[in-house]
Amino acid sequence: MRIQDSLRPRVLRDGSPEERDVRFVAGCDVAFDRTNGRGVGAVVVVAYPSLEVVERVTCEAPVTFPYVPGLLSFRETPVLVEALERVRQAPDIVMVDGHGYAHPRRFGYACHLGLMLEVPTIGVAKSRLIGAAGAVRGRRGSRADVVDGGEVVGSMLRTRQGVRSIYVSIGHRIGLAAAERWALACSRGYRLPEPTRLADRLAGEAKRRMLEATLEMIVEQRAGEAGRWEWVAADGEIVFRHELEPMLTHYGCSVDVTNPADGELLDVMLIDGADRARGERLAVTAIDVLERTDGDDKLLAIPVNQEPPSPAKLDALRGQIWDWYVRHEKPVRGWGGADAARELIRSCRARVIEEGVAV
């Protein structure tokens, strides 16, 4: 709260970007995987005035700040800034799915992000955070002030006949009237302006892909450890099976996803520098799959919230793993990629649901 109070005086609450000066508008949104403490930042850049999409960027990152009403920028901004840093086409206006000046301390999410970017920024929210407003009736463009403590902090704005109003507030370097004008100019038949509507959809899609690639695994044997160890779910223990040359990665299996090819829990090779213990459970993200001719495919994964290896390092590791399987005369077909890994997990889960199998 002290940080917000100290930054509030720097917010510029006037300005009116002219249409001739605006070529690109960005919409921003964040979706969360609360179970694993991750967020997906999504940015969609559209051309103005056509509103055609010119760039879509997503980024996954750990979320370390808790959900606290009024302090959402501290939770959402880090992952979103990382996504914005990957955008090639710099926007002339940024729209945020959240509030700006319409905030208890007059420093909401849109203000915080606007100051960081120094770009005209607008808060576009679906619900009211503070203040009171009269009913908005009439055609597209109808509006009403949102008033808090005797001060106009934002507005209710109708972007389409017959739908609920949105809540508009300034973020930085723009006045309220101009913010409303740009929210309307970027609306095309939906309640939300296109930039934030598309960013919301992109964030949801990215979160779904992230969750599809996520599963819980149990470590059966550690990287560099000789011997083949195996998790016996029925007994709740890991047992030694036979001698085996050490593997390059930690090796284990999913705790609840069965591969119908062999009826066994789905195998996982874990890229991780941590010294894991046998029997340790952790959430991982699948980044590739080693496809085998017998269908006993092996996922290649990293711990959630860990950055994947560089492309060069990953290629080298794939080659070493491939050589290990060939050397041990285990039938392999090739590496399938991240999409194939997600599809394998999805199909295995769907098979379990279809057959009504409890794992």
pLDDT by position in tens, the chain (length 359): 999 999 999 999 999 999 999 999 999 999 999 999 999 999 999 999 999 999 999 999 999 999 999 999 999 999 999 999 999 999 999 999 999 999 999 999 999 999 999 999 999 999 999 999 988 988 999 999 999 999 999 999 999 988 999 999 999 999 999 999 999 999 999 999 999 999 999 999 999 999 999 999 999 999 999 999 999 988 999 999 999 999 999 999 999 999 999 999 999 999 999 999 999 999 999 999 999 999 999 999 999 999 999 999 999 999 999 999 999 999 999 999 999 999 999 999 987 545 554 44
CB atoms < 10 A from the CB of 279, how many? 14
> Given this model, what pLDDT does residue 359 score?
40
The bridge status of strand 250-259 relative to strand 281-291 is unpaired
The Cα–Cα gap between 177 and 11 comes to 16
In the chain, CATH 3.30.2170.10 covers: 2-206
Torsion of CA 165, 80, 202, 353, to 10 degrees: -110
Q: Which CATH number fits domain 213-355: 3.40.50.1700, 3.90.80.10, 3.40.1710.10, 3.30.420.40?
A: 3.90.80.10
Nearest CA among 43, 24, 28 for reference residue 89: 24
CB atoms < 10 A from the CB of 344, how many? 23
pTM (two decimals)? 0.91
CA 358 to chain centre: 30
Amino acid found at 336: G
Amino acid found at 105: R
For residue 62, the cross-strand partners are: 38
| Burial class of residue 34, CB neighbours in 10 A (0-12, 13-18, 19+) | exposed
The Cα–Cα gap between 137 and 218 comes to 58
Nearest CA among 74, 47, 28, 311 for reference residue 196: 28
CB atoms < 10 A from the CB of 74, how many? 16
Q: Three-state DSSP class for 313?
A: helix
In the chain, CATH 3.90.80.10 covers: 213-355
Looking up tokens 């509006």, which residue turns up? 143
What sign for the dihedral angle of Cα 169, 174, 179, 182? negative
At the fourth CATH level, the homologous superfamily of domain 2-206 is archaeoglobus fulgidus dsm 4304 superfamily (3.30.2170.10)
Determine the length of the chain: 359
